[in-house]
Amino acid sequence: MITLAALSVAYADGRRALDDLDLSIAPGERVALIGPSGAGKTTLLRVIGASLRPTAGQLQLDGVDPWALGSGPLQALRARIGKMHQAPPIPPRQRVITAVLAGRLGQWPLWRAVASLVYPLDIAGTRAVLEPLGLAERLFDRCDQLSGGQLQRVALARLFYQKPEIVLADEPVSALDPALARSVAVALNEDAKRRDVTLIASLHAVDLALSEFSRVIGLREGRIVFDRPAAQVLTADIDALYAGASHAAAHDTPDQHVPSAKPRLTRCA
């Protein structure tokens, strides 16, 4: 269980990126975070991933406050969380197999992690996760020889190899064309369903949020605007969430893949 109680995050300028949030997410829920740029989606994912310490309030993961742990247990807890981003942070000269093996670096003892960087230790296991993603042939290729879509599937393979208890994906499909975006969103959801783990993903594609996820949270200016089962989200909810938000990205990092804060909405309950 992920629990946030009266949780706020203020960055250096004092403005609150997250404002007094109360939120519980049960194991096995598949949550889509939507909202205009600057709403606080990335900040929320970083807080839940125990990468960013809240300024006020509390986060608990299975009843444990990560920030009350020593650095060893905190690292161990982070190793149980899988992360995915819009552009996978994979060193370009790294081989596909090494990138996938990196999924378990945090779980392995140091000797094994170092050895796996020198010589890939689990070729069969890596091939097994790459096969269904259509990348088995690319096992020993360098990542800089792959397209953006293939790279994002390597990031998926790394997650599937890691088998994390919580998957946090920050705009995992924003850089992909619509067909690829859907297939990656479906693959993330299928994996979470099959392993019965929690998935939380921020998305600009509202249609994918509604069609693939079980629960949708609308975030705006650091607050929850709505929080419902996907099937109960109304067109009016979406309209209100994004209303007048096309210029809300003033202090957001420019994002070449999402030219405006307007959602891509092709279907709505």
Residue ranges that bind ligand ADP, judged by CB under 6 A = 11-12, 17, 35, 37-43, 251-252
Q: Report the nearest approach of Mg ion to the CB of residue 39 (Å).
A: 8
Q: Give 200's strand partners.
A: 31, 168
CB within 8 A of 225, min separation 6: which ones? 35, 218, 219, 237, 240, 241
CB within 8 A of 159, min separation 6: which ones? 82, 84, 103, 167, 188, 191
Q: Report the nearest approach of ligand ADP to the CB of residue 147 (Å).
A: 25
With 0-12 / 13-18 / 19 or more C-beta atoms within 10 angstroms meaning exposed / middle / buried, residue 148 is: middle
Q: Give 224's strand partners.
A: 219
Of the two residues 103 and 172, which places its CB atom closer to Mg ion in the complex?
172
Of the two residues 37 and 189, which places its CB atom closer to ligand ADP in the complex?
37
How far is residue 5's CA from residue 62's CA, in Å, rounded to a whole number?
A: 14
Residue 40: contacted member of ligand ADP, Mg ion, none (CB under 5 to 8 Å, by partner type)? ligand ADP
8-state DSSP, 263:
-
Of the two residues 14 and 70, which places its CB atom closer to ligand ADP in the complex?
14
Percentages (nearest 5) of helix, strand, coil residues in the chain: 40, 25, 35
Of the two residues 46 and 215, which places its CB atom closer to Mg ion in the complex?
46
Residue 165: contacted member of Mg ion, ligand ADP, none (CB under 5 to 8 Å, by partner type)? none
Of the two residues 33 and 129, which places its CB atom closer to Mg ion in the complex?
33
Q: Report the nearest approach of ligand ADP to the CB of residue 247 (Å).
A: 13
**Alpha carbon distance, N-terminus to C-terminus of the chain:** 28
Q: Give 228's strand partners.
A: 216
86 binds Mg ion (CB under 5 A): no
Residue 245: contacted member of ligand ADP, Mg ion, none (CB under 5 to 8 Å, by partner type)? none
Q: With CB under 5 A, what is the number of residues at the site for Mg ion?
A: 2
- 217, 34 contact by CB (below 8 A): yes
Of the two residues 41 and 158, which places its CB atom closer to Mg ion in the complex?
41
Q: Report the nearest approach of ligand ADP to the CB of residue 122 (Å).
A: 34
User: What 3 state SS string does 82-106 have?
Assistant: EEEECCCCCCCCCEHHHHHHHHHCC
- 37, 51 contact by CB (below 8 A): no
- Amino acid identity of residue 255, one-letter, is D
Q: Report the nearest approach of ligand ADP to the CB of residue 199 (Å).
A: 17
Of the two residues 143 and 249, which places its CB atom closer to ligand ADP in the complex?
249
Q: Report the nearest approach of Mg ion to the CB of residue 33 (Å).
A: 9
Q: Which of residues 21-50 bind Mg ion (CB under 5 A)?
A: 41-42
Q: What residues line the site for Mg ion (CB under 5 A)?
A: 41-42
